[in-house]
Structure 1
Amino acid sequence: MRITFYAPFKPLGHARPSGDLAIAASIAAYLERHGHVVSRAGGTRMRWIYWRPWRWPAILREYRRAVREHLRRPADLWLTYHAYYKAPDLLGPSVCRRTGVPYVIFQGIFSTKRRRRIQTLPGYLLNRKALTSASHLFANRREDLRNLRRLVAEDRLTYIRPGIEPSLFGFNAEARAGLRREWAVGEAPVVLSAAMFRPGVKSEGLAWVIRSCGRLNRAGIPLLLAIAGDGRERARLVRLGERHLPRRVRFVGKLSRENMHRFYSAGDVFAFPGIRESLGMVYLESQSCGLPVVAFDNGGVPEVVANGETGLLTPPFDGPAFDRALAGLILDSGLRGTMGANARSHIRRSHDVEKNYAGMEAILSELVTGKQA
């Protein structure tokens, strides 16, 4: 198939890493590995585009370019990744209506509460129009699937389990030994955390882990905390670390996704609460490397972490419960080992994109075959 791939929220190749970008890249890479020709549409971020009129001329140029390309060399299908009220798809529905190409959305998100505020009403209406015009929609969160059922017929919806390529996130003994020497950690358990240091729930989640580890350390539990990431909140988080975990926290900076498996290999537990986390690729990646997880039981986290089997999920914002879960894994090496092995198997069994995206590929092929019939 010839597939036009479009990511209105964060285009492929964007400089700022995120879980959304990783998922979009994994879908495109999967399709290319399986022999499909994937061409990228657009390049302008659509975030709050309806309140940024200075960007509208660029969107119009991208629309005209996409129409010309489709009329000259038609694609078999248009696939948009992640359409919601903040970043509605303004290209796909219009281009497909003009050219007769089937239109599909992966991770379409629908929420009626967005129609209640003037700030979000335009995005709600534009996104609703895109969702209802799609031939098929895929959801990688069950909550999103439930919400889409309020708008779209069941036969146009499919749930796809979130996944990664487990071969990219395997345990590396050499990296473990090298990083632990560099951190001068000795035999003490290492707690890992990772997120972009941006204002809001990401930095607050890291602050939560720092405070929790600080309480455990003051209680006499030996540990080292290592945090991967960078951003505007770095100075504040470093000060917080110095106050709560003096000499027991390492900030390792922003790491490429290709090197994250080395970071995960050096740890014993991965801790990040995931405040209202939609999914959390770090949970998939860290489990794939054999780490048990400690996080909040909220958002999309329970869809990727098996509570009591591959990690421990606690009530959101329950500090004592989070501390107990983290302490239990730090102090019990046997439990860590069992949950870590379970985590590695869990990812390969349930969250391998080679298995999970096969269903998506089959439906896309059916849509193209039906159009050509």
Structure 2
Amino acid sequence: MKVALYAPFKPLDHPAPSGDRTIGRELAAALAEQGLEVVVPTRFRSRWLSARPLSWLAALAARREALGAARREGVAAFLTYHTYYKSPDVVGPYVARTLGIPYVIFQGIYSTKPRRRLATRLGFELNRRALLAARAVFTNRRLDAANLGRLLPCERIIPVRPGIDPALFAFDAAARRELRQAWGVGEAPVVVTAAMFRDDVKSESLAYLFRCLGALAREGLAFFLAVAGDGPMREPLAALAARELPGRHLFLGLVAREALGAVYGAGDLFAFPGIRESLGMVYLEAQAAGLPVVALADGGVPEVVEPGITGLLTPPGDAGAYRQALRALLVDKARRRDMGEAASLYVRAEHDSGRNYGAVAAVLRRLAGRA
């Protein structure tokens, strides 16, 4: 069975790494594992479509392109990944309606705030229409499920836990020894963090972490920080790290996802505050590699970390509590080991993308059989 998979926010082959791209790729891989053939009907990006009238002609062209591809390939269902008011799906409902095939959304997001502003009202309405057209809407966040319940009947909302392929981040003892030797860290506990250095909450979180670790360094705690990532805020972040953590940090640059498992495995704990983090796939990746997490109980973080079992989550805005959580794991090797083991088991049991996203394939088959 062939399924059209469309990502209006960002094509899954986009060169810029992000959590959104990771989730989309995991979804596509899981569908393929379940025996579905994925067809990309168009790569059109609808980001801020409502504010760019010149892109409306491109949207019409994308509709024709997607319809032609879906008809030519004989797809039995149309699946859209991630639609919301900034990037509404204006392609999928049209194609599915024209061909008489089921339309399904994975990670549909609904919020009524955008309808109150002129600049976002059109995007809100386009997204609302897409959600209403869907036979089923999968959601990987509890908050999103609650918001969707204000628009859709509960039987059309299907919660699914976010997932990754845990095997990609399996612990490798040889790689750990090699990297730690290259970093020159000896027996000191290594804190690993990973993020894109964007001028937003990602950089805010890294700065928050650097300052908290700097305070612990001045207390005399022994540790080393390894930072994976890159982006436009690298220079100010590097300057801050040099002031707060002189001689005890290393910027690794952009690390390919297939190499991240070794980086996590070379560490002893994963720390990224996650200020207003929508979900945070890095937490799942680090836990799969056997690292306990230290983060804020903010946004979607509590949905991918078991507080007190696989990591320590602290109240947003309480830097003192965050420092204390870091300190607690830095000084307690046995606790780090126990939480790290629990983290690895937790991801494999609760967040395996092949298992979790397999439910999407089952629903697509069922709906296509009814079409």
What TM-score does the superposition give when structure 1 sets the normalisation length? 0.98
| One-letter identity of the residue aligned with 1:270 | F
| One-letter identity of the residue aligned with 2:112 | T
The aligned counterpart of 1:106 is 106
2:152 counterpart of 1:147: no
2:325 counterpart of 1:325: yes
2:31 counterpart of 1:31: yes
The aligned counterpart of 2:247 is 247
SS at match of 1:68: helix
From the superposition, tell whether residues 153 and 181 of structure 1 become closer, same or farther in structure 2 (CA, over 3 Å). same
Q: CA deviation at 1:46?
A: 1.4
The aligned counterpart of 2:311 is 311
Q: CA deviation at 1:96?
A: 1.2
SS at match of 1:107: strand
Distance 2:49 2:173 in 1: 46
SS at match of 1:158: strand
Distance 1:115 1:52 in 2: 17
The aligned counterpart of 1:15 is 15
| One-letter identity of the residue aligned with 1:256 | A
Distance 1:53 1:182 in 2: 52
What TM-score does the superposition give when structure 2 sets the normalisation length? 0.98
The aligned counterpart of 2:213 is 213
Runs of 5+ consecutive residues of structure 1 not aligned to the other structure: none
Runs of 5+ consecutive residues of structure 2 not aligned to the other structure: none
User: Which residues of 2 match residues 1-373 of structure 1 at below 5 A?
Assistant: 1-371=1-371
Q: Deviations over 1:132-191 (max 9, x none)?
A: 110110000011001101100111111001111111111111221111111111111111
Distance 2:269 2:11 in 1: 32
- Is the CA contact 2:34–2:361 (under 8 Å) kept in the aligned structure 1? no
SS at match of 2:357: helix
Distance 1:209 1:340 in 2: 20
Q: CA deviation at 1:204?
A: 0.6
SS at match of 2:294: strand
From the superposition, tell whether residues 16 and 175 of structure 1 become closer, same or farther in structure 2 (CA, over 3 Å). same
Distance 2:85 2:291 in 1: 35
Q: CA deviation at 1:56?
A: 2.7
Q: CA deviation at 1:314?
A: 0.1
| One-letter identity of the residue aligned with 1:168 | L
| One-letter identity of the residue aligned with 1:83 | T
Q: Deviations over 1:15-38 (max 9, x none)?
A: 100111011011111111222111
| One-letter identity of the residue aligned with 2:303 | E
Distance 1:258 1:179 in 2: 15
What RMSD in Å do the two structures reach over aligned CA positions? 1.0
Distance 2:142 2:17 in 1: 24
Distance 1:252 1:64 in 2: 44
Q: CA deviation at 1:53?
A: 2.7
- Is the CA contact 2:2–2:75 (under 8 Å) kept in the aligned structure 1? yes
Give aligned-pair identity as a percent.
Answer: 51
| One-letter identity of the residue aligned with 2:324 | R
Distance 1:269 1:119 in 2: 43
Distance 1:194 1:71 in 2: 42
How many aligned positions are there?
371
Distance 2:238 2:134 in 1: 46
Distance 2:253 2:174 in 1: 20
| One-letter identity of the residue aligned with 2:21 | L
Distance 1:325 1:41 in 2: 47
Distance 1:319 1:146 in 2: 30
SS at match of 2:118: coil
Higher RCO structure, 1 or 2 (CA under 8 Å, sep 6+): 2
- Is the CA contact 2:41–2:69 (under 8 Å) kept in the aligned structure 1? no
